[in-house]
């Protein structure tokens, strides 16, 4: 499945991909809808429970902007690659996170089966802002599930650099 060349203001939710499928999200521009007021959007892309064998999600060459919360939230998912994207928070955002990776997806319950979350982050540009009190994060790893853990997390700096611009205070929380 390809999701290419779109302008999206709101949330793209990806839930439980199929076995042996590749999902490409590329060349898009992601903004916020602020349907319930400024900062009300949870994330540009929310990935939930991508746990099927060889279900691959490639997020590449996109522009993400205007977020106050998360840009990409990957919960209890593997096979995710985020490559050559540009992230810019809202001008006044103080507690944004560009990419959040968690062993648990957003739900009040916990899965019964153990699972290892994984992600590859390659060649992305993380912009900050000049907001007073800004404590933004480029990348945040969180283990909020006591049954699941992290598998492979790749931050490639050798061939493709991770670029930081303006003020970003925390790489990993």
pLDDT digits (tens, 9 = 90+) for 79-101: 999 999 999 999 999 999 999 99
Over the chain, what is the mean pLDDT?
84
Instruction: Assess if residue 172 is contained within a domain.
Output: no
pLDDT attached to residue 167: 45
The answer to whether position 143 is within a domain reads no
Instruction: Check if the beta carbon of residue 43 is closer than 8 Å to that of residue 69.
Output: yes
The Cα 123–Cα 104 span in angstroms is 25
Q: Tell me how far apart the alpha carbons of residues 65 and 44 are, in angstroms, rounded to a whole number.
A: 9
Alpha-helix residue ranges (DSSP H) falling in 11-143: none
Q: Report yes or no on 100 lying in a domain.
A: yes
More confident residue, 160 or 71: 71
**Maximum Cα–Cα distance across the chain:** 46
Looking at the 3D structure of the chain, how many domains does it have?
Answer: 1
Domain extent for 23: 2-136+148-165
For the cut 80, the answer to whether the pLDDT of residue 27 exceeds it is yes
| Best CA proximity match to 131, nearest among 87, 94, 99, 82 | 94
Q: Give the pair of three-digit tokens for residue 166.
A: 């303006």
């Amino acid at each position: 499945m390809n999701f290419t060349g779109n302008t999206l203001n709101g949330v793209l939710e990806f839930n439980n991909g199929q076995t042996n499928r590749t999902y490409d999200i590329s060349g898009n521009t992601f903004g916020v809808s602020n349907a319930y007021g400024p900062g009300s959007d949870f994330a540009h892309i929310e990935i939930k429970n991508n746990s099927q064998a060889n279900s691959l999600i490639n997020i590449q060459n996109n522009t993400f902007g205007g977020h106050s919360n998360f840009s990409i939230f990957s919960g209890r998912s593997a096979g995710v690659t985020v490559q050559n994207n540009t992230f810019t928070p809202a001008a006044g955002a103080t507690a944004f996170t560009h990419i959040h990776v968690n062993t648990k997806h957003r739900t009040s319950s916990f899965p019964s089966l153990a699972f290892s979350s994984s992600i590859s982050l390659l060649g992305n540009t993380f912009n900050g802002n000049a907001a007073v009190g800004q404590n933004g994060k480029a990348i945040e790893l969180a283990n909020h599930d006591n049954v699941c853990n992290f598998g492979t997390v790749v931050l490639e700096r050798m061939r493709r650099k991770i670029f930081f611009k303006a003020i970003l205070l925390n790489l990993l929380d």
